[in-house]
Amino acid sequence: MGNILNQIGIENYIFLSVLLFCIGVFGVLYRRNAIIVFMSIEIMLNAVNLLFVAFSTYHQDSEGQVFVFFSMAVAAAEVAVGLAILVSIYRNLGSIEIDKLKNLKG
């Protein structure tokens, strides 16, 4: 059976995922532009999706792939809402620097 994992080992997928995830995390932590932060979150999400699919294939179980479809659909919706919020923030503040969003200070 032409399993792609026979050509590239599962550990490579894991390394890639972890790498992508860490890139996402550092992006979120260091960048101040809201859109970049947002993109970083998407990278983290996709890292997880990748891992999901990889393990799904590894275990010969299609459930993981189904889940990824769901998570992608939800992510699409989330992006739409998130971008709408960002547009609205930009209209109100003239900027999307997250350091300036301090209205929620207790």
Interacting residues toward other proteins by CB under 8 A: 25, 28-29, 32, 37, 98-99, 101-106
Position 36, amino acid: I
Nearest CA-CA partner of 50 in 6, 78, 16: 16
Nearest CA-CA partner of 38 in 105, 87, 73, 104: 87
Return the number of the residue (91 or 105) whose C-beta is nearest other proteins. Answer: 105
CB of 32 to other proteins, least distance (A): 7
Residue positions counted in the chain: 106
CB of 103 to other proteins, least distance (A): 6
Cα distance between residue 97 and residue 1, in whole Å? 51
Return the number of the residue (1 or 29) whose C-beta is nearest other proteins. Answer: 29
CB of 82 to other proteins, least distance (A): 13
Return the number of the residue (7 or 102) whose C-beta is nearest other proteins. Answer: 102
Q: Which two tokens stand for residue 30?
A: 């260091």
